[in-house]
Chains A and B, each alone.
Chain A
C-alpha cells in the first residue's frame, strides 16, 4: 500500500508526533507554520543537554531531530524538551550507518549487517515508546570486493523490510554522498522495491548537491515518496573540497528558491554543524529560511 505525501503528513508525522507530546502539529504546511522546522540539536550543540531549548523555540524551532545516541540519556533531556514546547521528534540514524565504523544495511559481511539491524531494531523499540514516527536511514558504501550492486541492493531491500516490519515507525531512505544509490532516482526505485507502507524517502538537500542533483529536481523525482527534508548547505563550487560538512545555510551552493518549494508542505529539520556560535547559527538558519520563503 502506498500513501500520498498529504496523507502521510496528516496521519503520520504530525498526528503521531502531536499525540506524543500533546501539542498541535507545528511543521510543514499542514496546520503549521512553514517557518517552524525541527533542529538537530546534536549537530549544533554536540548534545541536546547543551542546547538552550527555550531560546530555540523562541526563534521558532518546533521539532527536534535526534540521533540514536540521544536516546541513551533521554531521561536527562525529555522533560526539558517538553517544557520548551518542542512538538515533534524525528530520529536520524546516520551515525549508526557509517559503513564498517558503526554499521551498514548492505554489508556483505553478514555479522556486521545483522549487528546493524539489531541495533536499529532496538532504536525502533525506543522510538515507539517516545512515539517518534520517523527514522531516517541511508544506503551503505559498496563493499570493496565480492559484492555486485545487485547483491548490495538486495541486502539493502531486505534490511529495510525487516526494519519496516519492526513496527509502525516510518523508515525513510535518503541518498548520501559516496555511498550506493546516491541519486533520488535510485532511492525511489529502492523504496518502490521494498514495497512497504511505512518505507518512504527523505531528502537531504546538502547531500543532493554533493551528489550532483538539484534539490528541487530530486524532490520531484521522489514525488509522493518524499516525507521529510533535511536542510544544510554544501559547497560544490569549483575547486572546493566536496565534503559532507553540513554547512550553515548561505555558506554553500544551496539556492533559496529551491528550498522554498519543499518548505511548504513537508516536515523538515535543520542539520547544520556550525564551526562556532551555534546559537547564532541556529537563528541565522531560520532567517535564511525566512528569506527563502519570501523569495
Chain B
C-alpha cells in the first residue's frame, strides 16, 4: 500500500534502565541488559529438593544440588535462570546453593512462596523474613545475577483478600493507594526490598514506582487477565519507570493444572483440583503465549512447570549415556521456543505508537478477575466510576473479549484479536515529558481532569504528538489546545451525524458538553441541531481530537442488579461506547500501525529496529479455524519476506498472503523497497 502521508516518526530504542535519571543512586537497581550479557534468557529449575523430615523440621539440607542443576541446565538446556522455591534459604547448606549458582554463572530469579499469614515453621506458603546475613551473602556472591525475591501474584492477593477489610473503605483514590502501599511495604520489608514482580493484576506501575523492584512480569494464563491488555500495563510501567520485564505462562487455569508427567493418564481431581494431560492451560495457548510475550520484549521467558515426565529415558549427554526424565510436550515446546529465540535474535522492539494515559492514583483493574466476585472495582475497595468504565469499554474495542480472560473454558480473552494492532502502552500521569514524546498518539482516559499533566501534554502536541480526550476531562486552561473556545453546559442527545455521512447514527442517550469551536478546528461529528460532538484540530505534524460526550460513553443503559458475573457468561457493562466515537476514534488509532491486515480479525504485532525498511510482524490466530489474509506495509512494497517459523522465504509484492493455522502463531520478517518510518530521536 502506498501512502503519500509523511513518514511517521517511530521510537525504536529499547528500554535501558541505566539511562533513566537517578539509576546510579538507586540502592536497588533494575536489571540491565548488560546484567543479562545482552542475551534473551529462559527459565529452568523451580525448586531444590531437601531432606527435611517431620522429626527435625528446622534442620534440613538441600540435596543433589549439582545433579539437579545439571538436569535442568545441561542434560536439558532449559535456560540459565533458576527460579526456586524459598525454603532453600533456610537450609543448613544454603550457602552451597548460592556458591554453586554463582560458580555456574546462573541467575537466581524470583525466589517464590511468600504468602502473608503463613507461619515460617510450616515451610510452605509462609510469611518469612529473609535474614540480613543471607541477603548480604547472596549479593556478595551473585551480584547482578541475583534478580530478586518474588512479589508473586500479590497485587491480586491484596485486591481480593486484604483491600476489602480496610475499614472504612477509602474515600479517595489517594487513600486507597496508601492502603495498597501499607501491604507492599510490609512485603518489601520482609523481603529485603529487593523484589521481582510477578503480577496477577494491573498494578505494575505502583511496584515500579516503589523503586524496590528489579524486574516486572506477570503470571499469564491461569485464571488471570488478558495478556495484550495486561502487557500494555507492564510495558508502559517498564518504559515509564525504566525497568525491564519478563514473560511467563502458567499451566494452571481456573479449574486445574496441566500435568503431562504421565501423558496417558486420565485427568483426576485427586490432588484437590483437576489435574492431568487435558486439564489446565492448553498446549496451544502455552505455545502462542511464548511467542507473543517474547515479541512484547520480555527479557526472560519460561513455562511455569511440567517440563519433565515421571518416565525416564536414556540420552547421550556429552558422549555419556545417562538416564534422565523424559521430556513432556511442555518441555519440548520450551526448548523449541528457546532455540527459536536464539535463531532469531534481531526481533527489535514492539511498536506501540499509542499511550493510554490516566491519573496516577486511578488503581484501575479489569472489570472482573480471579480475585473477587464483585465486578467493577478499583483498588479492590472502591466502585468503578464512569471514567473507569471508559477504560474498560475502550479495552473491549482494542482487545475484544479481554474481560472474559479466565472466565471461559474455551480460553477466550487470554489472547485476543487486535483490530487496532497490539499497539498500546498504559502510562500514568506522573510520566515525564521525555517518555510521553516517544508516543505518536496519547489518549487521556479516566476521571481525573487533564491539568494534572498539562505541561507535558502541551509540549507533546507542540512536538508533533496526537492527543485525544473528552470535553469533560478538560479544565478551562486546556481547551484551546483542542481548538475549542468555550465549553458550555451539559446537554443530552440520542444521535450523531458524522461529517460526510448522510444519515444520523442512533445512539443511546448520552450527555455531552456544548462546544464553541475555533474556526480552524474541524467538526467531525455533530448533532442534528449542529452541536459539535467530535472536533479535530490539525497542526503541522500533530493533531488533537476532542469528543464532546462524557467519557465518550452513553448514559447508563443497564441497572447494576442486571449485571451477572459468572463463569462462561459474558459480563455486561452498564454503559456503551458511543457509535460515532467508535467510527472516528478506532480508525484514527488504527492509522498509527505500520501495516494493514486484510482478513478476519486477528492479533497482530509489529516489531521495529533502526532499519526503517524492515518490519517484523507477528500474527497470532486465537481462533480454532485457519486464518487467511494479507499483510501490507502502509508504506512501500515488500521486497522480501521470510517466515520465521519455517525460515522459508515468502513471495513479496504489494503485500504478503499468509495462512496461520488454528490456534497458532506466525512471525514474518518483511523487507520493504523503501522506509516505512523515520526513527524518532
Contact = CB atoms under 8 A, between A and B. Distances in A.
Interface of A: 43, 94-95, 98-102, 104, 107-110, 112, 138, 141, 143-147, 176-179, 207, 232, 237-246, 271, 273-275
Given A109-B119, A144-B116, A144-B117, A239 B168 contact: no
A241 to B, nearest CB: 5
A207 B167 CA distance: 10
A244 B127 contact: no
A101 B118 contact: no
Given A102-B182, A107-B117, A43 B168 contact: yes
Contacts of B127: 109, 112
Interface stretch (B158-166, B391-399, B520-528): B158-166
Contact of B166 (A101, A108, A232): A101
B171 interface: yes
Contacts of A207: 167
Contacts, number: 113
Contact of B182 (A98, A104, A147): A98
27 contacts: A94-B168, A98-B162, A98-B165, A98-B166, A99-B162, A100-B162, A100-B183, A100-B186, A108-B117, A109-B116, A109-B119, A141-B162, A146-B118, A146-B124, A147-B117, A178-B164, A207-B167, A237-B561, A239-B560, A239-B561, A241-B377, A243-B382, A244-B164, A246-B168, A273-B168, A273-B169, A273-B171
A193 B192 CA distance: 40
Nearest to A98: B166
Contacts of A274: 171
Contacts of B559: 239
B171 A275 contact: yes
Interface of B: 115-120, 122, 124-125, 127, 161-162, 164-169, 171, 179, 182-183, 186, 374, 376-377, 381-383, 559-563
A245 B163 CA distance: 12
Given A101-B182, A146-B124, A244-B381, 20 more contacts: A99-B116, A99-B117, A99-B165, A107-B117, A108-B118, A109-B120, A112-B117, A112-B127, A138-B167, A141-B162, A144-B115, A144-B116, A146-B122, A178-B164, A237-B561, A240-B560, A240-B561, A241-B377, A243-B383, A271-B168
A241 B117 contact: no
Contacts of A177: 164-165
B118 A109 contact: yes
A95 B170 CA distance: 11
B186 A144 contact: no
A145 B125 contact: yes
A239 B562 contact: yes
Nearest to B129: A111
Contacts of A95: 167
Contacts of A138: 167
A237 B383 CA distance: 14
B561 A238 contact: yes
A101 B179 CA distance: 7
Most chain B CB neighbours (cut-off 10 Å) among A101, A178, A274: A101
A241 B374 contact: yes
A144 B165 CA distance: 14
A243 B118 contact: no
B423 to A, nearest CB: 33
B165 A145 contact: no
Contacts of B119: 108-110, 146
A141 B561 contact: no
A145 B169 contact: no
Contact of A144 (B161, B182, B381): B161
Contacts of A246: 168-169
A37 to B, nearest CB: 17
A98 B167 contact: yes
Contacts of A178: 164-165
Contacts of B165: 98-99, 141, 176-179, 244
A94 B167 CA distance: 7
B186 A243 contact: no
Nearest to B187: A100
B117 A243 contact: no
Contacts of A232: 168
The 6 A-B pairs of least Cβ separation, nearest first, read A239-B561, A239-B560, A246-B168, A143-B117, A238-B561, A101-B182
A275 B182 CA distance: 22
Contacts of B376: 241
B180 to A, nearest CB: 9
B117 A176 contact: no
Contacts of A107: 117
Contact of B168 (A99, A110, A141, A244): A244
A111 B168 CA distance: 25
Contact of B115 (A110, A145, A238): A145
A232 B124 CA distance: 41
A108 B122 CA distance: 11
B426 to A, nearest CB: 24
Q: Which of A176, A240, A241 has the most CB of B within 10 A?
A: A241
B677 to A, nearest CB: 45
A141 B377 CA distance: 20
Contacts of A238: 560-561
B216 to A, nearest CB: 22
Nearest to A152: B117
A104 B183 CA distance: 13
A24 to B, nearest CB: 30
B532 to A, nearest CB: 31
A146 B123 CA distance: 11
A178 B124 CA distance: 24
A3 to B, nearest CB: 28
A243 B164 contact: yes
A284 to B, nearest CB: 16
Nearest to B125: A145
Nearest to A246: B168
Given A100-B117, A144-B118, A146-B119, A176 B561 contact: no
Nearest to B561: A239
A104 B122 CA distance: 19
Contacts of B164: 177-178, 243-244
Nearest to B560: A239
A240 B127 CA distance: 34
A146 B125 CA distance: 9
